[in-house]
Every structure is written in C-alpha cells, then in structure tokens.
Amino acid sequence: MIHSIQIIKQIDRILGPVLLKIFPRALKRKKKSPHPNKILIIRPGGMGDAILLLPVLKAVSKKIKPAKIDILCEHRNQEIFHAVQFVNNTLSYKNPTDLISVFRKQYDIIIDTEQSHFLTAIITRLLKADLKSGFHVNGRQKMYTISMPYRHDIYEADSFWNLIAKTLDFKESFLWDFPYFKQLKNNFISDISFEKYICVFPGASIDERLWPEKSWAKVIDRLTQSGWKCVLLGSHKEINQCRTIIKYCKTRDIINLCSQLTILETTLVLKKSSLLISTDSGILHLGVLNDVSTVSLFGPGIEAKWAPKGHNHLVINKNLDCSPCTKFGTTPPCGNFKLCMLKITPMDVINKAKKLITLNE
C-alpha cells in the first residue's frame, strides 16, 4: 500500500506540473446554480484528512437540502465515508466503473480538498460542473473557478470549512455537531466485562511518529495500577507492535482489540471510553469525532494543523528546533534520532491522562 502511494506521488511530482501548464485557465462563472445540491468532494490522502472532512460535510448536508454529496477518494478511506449518513455515494480512484461514472455525471459543484498535489486539480478541471474550487497552492488555482490559499497554522477541519464556505457562500463559522457516525444495531461491546476503560492507539502512518513500545507499556502499567482497564486499538499494521507492548507490560489485564474491529465498531469502543491516548494519527481524529477526551503525542507533525482543540484535549509536544518537519504530508528522513518523540516520557503521558480523568469525573 505504502509503495503504491509513493509511486503515485512520484508520478504527480513529475507529470503534474507539465499537465498543469498545458491546460488553459478555467473560465470564471458569473454565478453558480441557484439551488446547488449535486456536489462532488474530491478527497485523496490519508485517514486523518478523510475523518476531519466529515464534520464539514455534515454541516453542508444540513444547510443544503436535499444535498447529494458524492466523495471521490482512495479505496483505503471508503469505509470511513460509508460510516456516515450524510454522504450519498462513495467512489474510488482505483475503480474504473466509479471513475467513468464521475466523468459522465454533471455536478453543480466540485470541490477539490487536496492541499498540494497536482493530479486532483487536473481531474477537477476535466470533470463537468458549473463551479469548481480548490486550494491556491503550486499554481493549481488555474484549474478552479474559485480558490483560496492553504495555511499550515489552521486546524485541518477549519481549512476544509473555509474552502467549502467560500465556495457555497456560507457566512457562519464552523461548529461541531455530534454525533457523526451511524449507530450499530448490534451493541457487541455490551458483552465485554469492563466498565471504565482507556483506549490506547500506539500506531502511526510513518515511523517518525512512533513512540517506543516500552514507554507505552509503562503507561499502561501505571494506569492499570490506578484501576483503569486499557484497550489497545489498531489495524493489521499494528499487530506486532501491540503484541510487543503487551510483552513488556507487567500487567496481563489488557484488552487487545487490534485488527479486530471495523471503523464503526471502533467508533463505538471510543465513544464508551473515558479517554484516548494516541500518537498523531487517524485514530486520534476518530476519537475527537466521537467526543472523547484525548491525550496526543506530537513530534514531526504540525500541532496547529492536526492537534485537537479544546480543554478536553491535551497535547504533548517537546517543540524541538527541528520540529515540526512535516509539510504537505511529507516527512523528511530524521537525522536527529527521532528525539522529538523519544524525549516524551511515560510520566508526561500519565500526568496528562490523570489530569483529564480528574477533569471528567
């Protein structure tokens, strides 16, 4: 999966600027459809972007009725958009039938939420719509009828809202509106015999964001001593990592749900938890959208852009001179031994966790 993503990024880097020069600038339309309801949202990228787009889409669906919101996304993120009620149709770049369907359809509005890469802007230019919008980055603005600058110092959900609000002439500020996910008919978690628990997600999309397994084990042991059950979350990618953490733990009183849950099942586990402790990850944002308090560990990632906001969300960030180093989704190889993550101590995490637990009691 990671290898194929890197290939696509290389194609985008080499071919994208060339194609961008070939296309003429998009004609500015005087006005959009008076009652736009057929909307296509283009959302490539990782899990975090997809999740933080959801609250914005719900706001759109409530303001425009009936709104038929289609999503063109990566196959790996389709499950996320299937987990909500306010998306009409979820389409994959990798599915030829889906692509043909998108190119045949006439939309009122197409919004490209990609922040920097070229190919989505070119796809947007080729599709049929009265109005097209996207971020003003790397010359991509010529593909759109409406564009706006992209900033790294604004929370990602707010960036999406600002673009969509400008496109649709919304004047209101972005507001959270829980819940976001469908309700499971079978409450499978009710059969699990524990009452108060803390979710722990140790994974990350890149190694630079990982925290040592021994440190996670120390946190789990201390929280268990304080009477809390810890639940490990993750996908198949985190199986070995979670097993290693359990091996280092002194306690055997751990629930390991790694690689056992769907997105919707994960949302239910998070919703019933008292706290989520996580790296800078998609699961962190999933916790936020389930209105769960979080402790998050930040290093190479941009805190202003990705860290949850509010008094129920505490961030641990050592703010080294070399961090954050990630820009437009790319993190350079670390020449500083990943110190931004290694300098975070188990006591840093334990103290933040206890502070939130006390606050919420």
Please write the tens of the pLDDT for every residue from 139-183. Answer: 999 999 999 999 999 999 999 999 999 999 999 999 999 999 998
Among the candidates 133, 168, 203, a domain finishes at 168
- Is pLDDT at 17 greater than 90 in this prediction? no
29: in domain: no
Asked if 55 and 87 sit in the same domain, the reply is: yes
pLDDT tens-digit map of 256-271: 999 999 999 999 999 9
- Are residues 122 and 233 located together in one domain of the fold? no
Q: Are residues 129 and 265 in the same domain?
A: no
Give the three-state DSSP class for 6.
helix
Distance CA 116, CA 16 (A): 11
In a domain, 251, yes or no: yes
Same domain, 59 and 91: yes
Domain count of the chain? 2
Would you tell me how many other CB atoms lie within 10 Å of the CB of residue 112? 28
164 shares its domain with 308: no
The CATH number given to whatever domain includes residue 63 is 3.40.50.2000
The residue among 139, 168, 197 that closes a domain is 168
Digit-coded pLDDT (tens) for 274-293: 999 999 999 999 999 999 99
Q: Answer yes or no: do 222 and 346 share one domain.
A: yes
If you search the block for the tokens 């389709």, which residue do you land on?
78
Same structural domain, 155 and 202: no
**Looking at the domain assignment, is residue 26 inside a domain?**
no
Same domain, 156 and 96: yes
Question: In this structure, are 163 and 194 located in the same domain?
Answer: no
Q: Whole-angstrom Cα distance, residue 314 to residue 303?
A: 11
In a domain, 18, yes or no: no
Helix (H, G, I), strand (E, B), or coil: what is residue 248?
Answer: helix
Q: Which domain holds residue 286?
A: 188-360
**Within 13 Å, how many C-alpha atoms sit on residue 297's CB side?**
32
Q: Is 349 a domain residue?
A: yes
Q: State residue 149 phi and psi, 5-degree precision.
A: -65, 155
Q: Let me know whether 193 and 319 are in one domain.
A: yes
Name residue 254's beta-bridge partners.
230
pTM of the predicted structure, to 2 decimals = 0.94
In contact, 242 and 320? CB cutoff 8 Å: no
The residues, ordered by sequence, that sit 6+ positions from 239 with a Cβ below 8 Å of its Cβ are 258, 259
> Residue 167: what residue type?
T
Domain boundary among 119, 134, 168: 168
Q: Tokens 């290389």 identify what position? A: 10
pLDDT tens digits along 97-135: 999 999 999 999 999 999 999 999 999 999 999 999 999
pLDDT recorded at residue 192: 58
Contacts 24+ apart (CB under 8 A), 139-144: 139/17, 139/20, 140/20, 140/112, 142/20, 142/23, 142/24, 142/25, 142/26, 143/20, 143/23, 143/26, 143/112, 144/26, 144/112
